[in-house]
């Protein structure tokens, strides 16, 4: 990954303490980080902390280090500007094109991508003044991320909580690689399955697979920030952070996953089957732990029955008029990925299929992915290697163009 000049702006809100985590996300990958707090941000975090973490001097005013023409140079040299937290006041000043401190003048000069992670009380976020300012900035190509729902400074909860540093860094890097996140899915309802299903053998054992759920979660995350209403039906996704702003329905077995998907498909505009579904399950789930060397040999010889094909079932529901969603599948192939992928797309009847080559455990659990997006219309789009978020952007672009 090439190293970038990243400006991290910090506005004066309590979430400023979390900006230290955002700084670390970028310094740890070797990026050159210049921190530009507003004067009020320094009431929450000290300049010494920000200088130590970033390894660069910290200024807030256009009148410091005037000989270096900082108010112009910092913005000109930036490859990416991330402002976390972005308060209601800072958003208003940016929307008005103000340049009354070093951070706002830096943004006014910059031509690089700008990503804002808002943090404020729910009332302030929902206030039409803020919403109109946000819409203005988005129209100008600024990526204003959706804040999370959750605990705010006081006892109240609601939208307005800042995203976690790792989520902000992930989305900001995606913007750097693929451009601003547009609000192209506003009003759309999206249903995504993710992770691996697990089939119980007995109370302590199960059949599972190595899917991490990362690609499905990345698809959900990108959809949330494109403005969609997102539901994830999640099998085993281990320690993954839940994408903020998406509803998550937890399931374990294929039967549970199928039920959850079918129950929600009618209302969805897009359905994505990113889950790694167990093809077979034990014919019988033992109610007590199976023991070695039993007369019926039940542990060494498992009798399996085939699971329903959830994707195929969703396509059949559409044929029956129960949903008109665009349906997207995945295929992980070790050999002849394009040929097997095309055959799978036809067999399943989906509209689009993301094909990954998974030789040698590639893709599973990793942070990167690559492959091809095949369309039922005969289209074939190569997806170059990138983070699972970058691949998610390519998949959403293909879905929206379909
Ligand atoms: N899938 C599904 N239900 C199943 C198996 C798979 O919905 N019982 C979905 C997956 O979520 C994925 C697509 O079908 O979107 C392809 O999964 P894959 O395991 O590659 O396909 P299979 O039909 O199981 O074919 P293979 O014999 O190659 O495993």
Give the model's confidence band at 71: pLDDT under 50 very low, under 70 low, under 90 confident, else very high. confident
d(CA 186, CA 330): 24
Span 313-339, average pLDDT: 95
The pTM (predicted TM-score) of the whole model is 0.95
- Angle among Cα 133, 59, 40 to the nearest 5 degrees reads 50
Ligand 1 centroid, distance to 223 Cα (angstroms): 23
Q: How confident is the model at residue 367 (pLDDT cuts 50, 70, 90)?
A: confident
Question: Are the CB atoms for 8 and 26 separated by under 8 Å?
Answer: yes
* Residue 1, pLDDT above cutoff 60: no
Active-site pick, 40, 127, 209, 262: 209
pLDDT exceeding 90 applies to what percent of the chain?
Answer: 85
Helices (runs of H) and strands (runs of E) counted in the chain: 13, 19
Residues 343, 349, 351, CA angle at the centre, nearest 5°? 100
Q: What is the mean pLDDT of the chain?
A: 94
Closest residue by Cα to residue 119 from 93, 96, 89: 89
Are 5-178 and 189-401 equal in CATH topology? yes
User: What is the predicted pLDDT for the residue at 151?
Assistant: 72
Active site residue 209: yes
Predicted pLDDT of residue 369: 87
Residue range 203-256, pLDDT digits in tens: 999 999 988 999 999 999 999 999 999 999 999 997 788 899 999 999 999 999
Ligand 1 contacts (CB < 6 A) are: 273, 275, 277, 279, 307, 309-311, 329-332, 348
pLDDT attached to residue 361: 59
| CATH 3.40.50.10300 is held by the domain 189-401 | yes
| 364 annotated to a ligand binding site | no
Residues whose CB falls within 8 Å of the CB of residue 321, separated by 6 or more in sequence, listed in order: none
Nearest CA to ligand 1 atom 16: 331
Short-list 86, 87, 69, 70, CA closest to 34:
70
- pLDDT the model gives residue 158: 85
**pLDDT score recorded for residue 297:** 75
Q: Is 289 annotated as a binding residue?
A: yes
Q: What is the pLDDT of residue 298?
A: 77
CATH homologous superfamily of 5-178 equals Flavin prenyltransferase-like (3.40.50.1950)
Tokens of 387: 């983070």
Pocket-testing residue among 331, 338, 364, 376, ligand 1, by greatest number of atoms within 8 A of Cβ: 331
Q: Please provide the distance, in angstroms rounded to a whole number, between the alpha carbons at the two ends of the chain.
A: 31
Three-state secondary structure along 94-148? HHCCCCCCHHHHHHHHCCCCEEEEECCCHHHHHCHHHHHHHHHHHHCCCEECCCE
Q: What is the pLDDT of residue 235?
A: 97
Question: Would you kindly state where each structural domain of the chain is located, as residue ranges?
Answer: 5-178, 189-401
């Amino acid at each position: 990954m090439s190293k970038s000049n990243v400006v991290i702006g910090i506005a004066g809100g309590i979430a400023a303490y979390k900006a230290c985590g955002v700084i670390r996300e970028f310094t740890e990958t070797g990026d050159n980080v210049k921190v530009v707090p507003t004067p009020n941000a320094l009431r929450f975090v000290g300049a010494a902390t920000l200088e130590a973490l970033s390894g660069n001097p910290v200024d807030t005013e256009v009148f410091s280090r005037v000989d270096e023409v900082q108010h112009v140079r910092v913005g000109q040299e930036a490859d990416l500007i991330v402002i976390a937290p972005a308060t209601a006041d800072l958003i208003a000043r940016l929307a008005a094109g103000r340049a009354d401190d070093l951070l706002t003048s830096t943004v006014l000069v910059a031509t690089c991508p700008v990503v804002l992670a808002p943090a404020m009380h729910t009332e302030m976020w929902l206030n039409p003044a803020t919403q109109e300012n946000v819409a203005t900035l988005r129209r100008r190509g600024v990526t204003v991320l959706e804040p999370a729902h959750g605990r705010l400074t006081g006892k109240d909860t609601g939208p307005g909580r800042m995203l976690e540093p790792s989520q902000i860094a992930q989305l900001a890097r995606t913007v750097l690689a693929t451009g601003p996140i547009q609000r192209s899915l506003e009003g759309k309802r999206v249903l995504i399955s993710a992770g691996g299903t697990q089939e119980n053998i007995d109370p302590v054992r199960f059949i599972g697979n190595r899917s991490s759920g990362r690609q499905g979660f990345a698809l959900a995350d990108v959809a949330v920030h494109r403005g969609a209403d997102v539901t994830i039906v999640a099998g085993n996704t281990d320690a993954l952070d839940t994408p903020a702003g998406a509803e998550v329905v937890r399931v374990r077995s294929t039967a549970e996953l199928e039920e959850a998907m079918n129950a929600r498909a009618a209302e969805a505009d897009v359905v994505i089957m990113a889950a790694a579904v167990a093809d077979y399950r034990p014919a019988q789930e033992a109610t007590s732990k199976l023991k070695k060397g039993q007369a019926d040999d039940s542990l060494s010889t498992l009798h399996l029955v085939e699971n329903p094909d959830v994707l195929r079932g969703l396509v059949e529901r559409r044929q029956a008029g129960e949903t008109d969603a665009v349906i997207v599948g995945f295929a992980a192939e070790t050999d002849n990925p394009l040929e097997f992928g095309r055959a799978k797309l036809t067999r399943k009847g989906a509209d689009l299929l993301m094909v990954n080559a998974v030789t040698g455990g590639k893709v599973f659990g990793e942070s990167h992915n690559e492959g091809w997006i095949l369309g039922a219309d005969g289209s074939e789009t190569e997806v170059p290697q990138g983070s699972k978020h970058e691949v998610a952007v390519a998949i959403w672009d293909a879905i929206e163009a379909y």
